[in-house]
Amino acid sequence: MIKNSFAVTLDKNPVIKVNAIPGHFTTSQFHTTHYLDLDNLKANVNLARDAAKELAVPYLTTTLVDTIVCLEGMEVIGAFMAEELTQEGTSVINSDRDIYVVTPISNYNRKLMFQHSMQELISNRNIIVLVSSVSSGLTLYSALECLSYYGGKLAGISALFNAYPERHEHEINSLFTNENVPGYHIYSPNDCPLCKEGRKLDAMIVHDGYIMI
């Protein structure tokens, strides 16, 4: 499976790339034809900085930002993104402002929430939600529900990868979409054509990678 992997490169900055592994994968919500390895972008300092610069572009001159809410291990990129948004410059709207980078926690019902000490950084603040990938959208919309509960004001959504942008209610600024990954599809388990062909699952995608089945 891994031997068939291929690199997907960002056209305007070829240093930024992800490894796509074809196969038959499952998550708790859907089946998909590819696993996208985004970990190197999130963990490598130089790559995370480059990714953050690209993700900051849509907001630099137009969007007031108070807080970046990070999901799915995006804290390093979030910190660099905050640094980029607050750089000195006459056209940089957040220049010299304080931007906070926070992460929600999950309660016993697996609902996202913010600890008491963090809630003042959300209530009535301009928020960018930063996620690793958006596929089914369940994680993203859980975060948006959480922001609404605490009175946050959505200023933008950014992701490294966004599958099927046209299917989502909100605009999502992303580095890559399904169009950058040849043959990429996601399916509901009941309608998965790979299953109907009798092809067994290769692996289960989990929070920090995948587990071979």
Q: Domain limits at 86? A: 2-212
Judge contact between 47 and 11, C-beta under 8 A.
no
- Sign, CA dihedral 163-166-168-174, equals positive
| pLDDT per residue as tens digits for the range 49-85 | 999 999 999 999 999 999 999 999 999 999 999 999 9
Provide the number of structural domains found in the chain. 1
**With bands split at pLDDT 50, 70 and 90, how would you rate the model's confidence at 28?**
confident
pTM for the predicted model, two decimal places: 0.93
**With bands split at pLDDT 50, 70 and 90, how would you rate the model's confidence at 41?**
very high
Comparing 146 with 209, the larger pLDDT belongs to 146
The mean pLDDT value of the chain amounts to 93
- The pLDDT score that the predictor gives to residue 109 is 76
Over residues 32-50, the mean pLDDT reads: 96
Q: Where are the alpha helices (DSSP H) in 65-137?
A: 75-85, 116-119
- pLDDT over threshold 80, residue 163: yes
- CATH number for position 36: 3.40.50.2020
| pLDDT per residue as tens digits for the range 171-181 | 999 999 999 99
Judge contact between 147 and 129, C-beta under 8 A.
yes
- pLDDT over threshold 90, residue 165: no
- The pLDDT score that the predictor gives to residue 103 is 96
Which letter does DSSP use for residue 170 in this model? Answer: S
| pLDDT per residue as tens digits for the range 112-152 | 999 999 999 999 999 999 999 998 888 899 999 999 999 99
Give the pairing type, strands 67-70 and 100-102. Answer: parallel
